[in-house]
Structure 1
Amino acid sequence: MKRSIETLKENLMKIRTGRAHTGLLEHITVDYYGCPTPISQVAQLGLADARTITVQPWEKKMVAVVEKAIRNSDLGLNRLAKSFAFRCHPLTEERRRDLTKVVRSEGEETKVAIRNLRRDANNKVAALVKEKEISEDDERRSNTEIQKLTDKYIGEVDKLIAEKEKEIMTV
């Protein structure tokens, strides 16, 4: 369940909010001599200001390849004129609403994963009862504990989703 929460956090970081951060580019891969490579391994990523990401490839040959990968990523980043920096544009109200839908669906996927883990744990406990390794009282206690854990992690998902939605809707 903790891994599900960590995965959700990583996925939410990739959702753009109008502010620049290097995490926006983490999932982009470039063709590095025929091998798909994460952009962070072929270039230095940094922030010039709150809305500008700087990308400095370590090899001159890679400048065009990195620029093409960023352009094709559909992140809505534009290259600034004389430098190798990209500017994040402010989001429109319609785009903000679309992003909140994406955030909610990410949260729902995480909740489903947590519920599936609960089901698997309950099935294992039921199998132990069937094999007479634990009593029915132990089964009830275990199911209660499993439900408490599930509620705790689903509450954490709800909290993360609410924070991200607030961040997206803030102009």
Structure 2
Amino acid sequence: MAAYNKADLERRMKGAVESLKSDFSGLRTGRASTSLLDPVTVDVYGANMPLNQVATVSVPEPRMITVQVWDKSNVTPVDKAIRSAGLGLNPVVDGQMLRLPIPDLTEERRKELAKLVGQYSEKARIAVRNVRRDGNDQIKQDEKKNEISEDEKKRFENEVQKLTDKTIADIDALAVHKEKEILGK
């Protein structure tokens, strides 16, 4: 039984791209997005809970996020959690509703975010290359065990390389798009 499994490699490479998309969604681009508040956890009921489990997060306007807290007693902890999350957002409390105006990004902050895009995409590229290495190792093991011929080994290695090239091209395209979005170009 050959250890090389192209479908598994594809799945793992897609996982790296999905992880990158998730990382990118958390980057603030000057536009309101509910995913901005995904990393926020609130200390309520004696436990740290994700914000979306104690309130409804919505985007009524392009530059405004609203957080409708379900329990009145949680308004202050939610406010505190958002302020201390390091997102640069200052909630305005209005009863059980918190309004979060999204400020314009400074040029300096845009450049920092663009660097972060580069770091995230490099992390994804490394993950893809690691998957490629694993795939090539599996192919070599299969050849050593005489489960595949040398021609098959070459063909499989080419498949893995093409898959890697395609996935890295996807990552690069995502990074370029996100950088343009952040830098406003």
> Would you call these one fold, judging by a TM-score over 0.5?
yes
Aligned partners of 2:47, 2:90: CA distance in 1, in Å? 25
- Alignment map for 1:116-155 (pairs within 5 Å): 116-155=130-169
Partner residue, 1:168: 182
AA at the equivalent of 1:77: L
- Alignment map for 1:1-171 (pairs within 5 Å): 1-80=13-92, 82=94, 84-170=98-184
AA at the equivalent of 1:44: T
Tell me, which stretches of 5 or more residues in structure 2 are unaligned?
A: 1-12
> Which whole-Å deviations, capped at 9, do the CAs of 1:49-102 have from their partners, x for residues lacking one?
111100011101110110000000111111236452011110011110110000
Tell me, which stretches of 5 or more residues in structure 1 are unaligned?
A: none
Aligned partners of 1:109, 1:81: CA distance in 2, in Å? 38
> Which whole-Å deviations, capped at 9, do the CAs of 1:115-157 have from their partners, x for residues lacking one?
0000000000000101111111110000000000000000000
Aligned partners of 2:68, 2:132: CA distance in 1, in Å? 46
AA at the equivalent of 1:125: I
Q: Comparing 4-13 with 26-35, which one deviates more in the overlay?
A: 26-35
Aligned partners of 1:88, 1:74: CA distance in 2, in Å? 13
Query: SS of 2:72's equivalent?
Result: coil
State the TM-score, normalized to the length of structure 1: 0.97
The answer (yes or no) to whether the contact 2:82–2:91 under 8 Å persists in 1 is no
AA at the equivalent of 1:126: K
AA at the equivalent of 1:116: N
Aligned partners of 2:93, 2:121: CA distance in 1, in Å? 38
Say which structure, 1 or 2, has more relative contact order (CA 8 Å, 6+ apart).
2
* RMSD between aligned residues: 1.1
